[in-house]
Amino acid sequence: MTDEQRSSGHGMWPTFFAMIATSIVTMFVLKYSALWELDHAFFSQTRMWMALMMGMAMIVIMLGFMWGMYRSLATKIAVMALACVGFALFLFLVRSQHTVEDEAWMKAMIPHHSIAILTSERAAISDPRVRELADAIIEAQVREIAEMKLLLADIEANGERGDGTPLEPRTAKLTPRLEAEAKAVLDRPVSGPVEAEAGLAR
């Protein structure tokens, strides 16, 4: 690095971006650290978008703390602006799932289910009702991982069914039936304070 680069701060930018890139890769890899089994490690677009989104946030935070170390105001503003645009883009991709189709969805869900198995298996649960719920989650996740692996293999070998038109999902709202099933786990009348604490009070 020349004295001119050092005095202007330009020579520090490659190190700055190398640090951001290394952090993004590290965050992406660490998102798989809670898998129940290693063969549950499928590439996940959503995890990639989230790692990139966090990288954009790191640029803003780190450059904000090191603002005085870089001389060119125009460069700093440009980097900040691009990071904000990148953050908004990756947030949109995470929230919209716009790039996620059948196979990508299953590859993202398998590691997600695997984490649910690990936490449900190893948590120090003492309430029998919670243990029963955790065991039901383990059973469901193990079965669904097997289903998704089989579907991935079948789609790879035989192609997808349907005409490629995205199908409408079921509602994600808490329906009266689901709410009644959720309340039944308590084995006792549900009081107002309990409903309020659980976010079920109307």
Q: What is the mean pLDDT of residues 151-166?
A: 94
Q: What band does 189 get if pLDDT is binned at 50, 70 and 90?
A: confident
Listed by start position, the domains of the chain span 13-161+177-185
Q: In Å, how far are 25, 46, 73, 76, 166 from 83, measured between CA atoms?
A: 17, 19, 15, 11, 32
Residue pair 103/94 in contact by the 8 Å Cβ criterion: no
Residue pair 141/198 in contact by the 8 Å Cβ criterion: no
Q: Which residues neighbour 57 within 8 Å (Cβ) at sequence distance 6 or greater?
A: 83, 87
Examine the pLDDT at 7 and tell me if it is beyond 50: no
Q: What band does 196 get if pLDDT is binned at 50, 70 and 90?
A: low
pTM of the model: 0.81
Residue pair 44/111 in contact by the 8 Å Cβ criterion: yes
The phi, psi pair for 126, rounded to 5°, reads: -115, -25
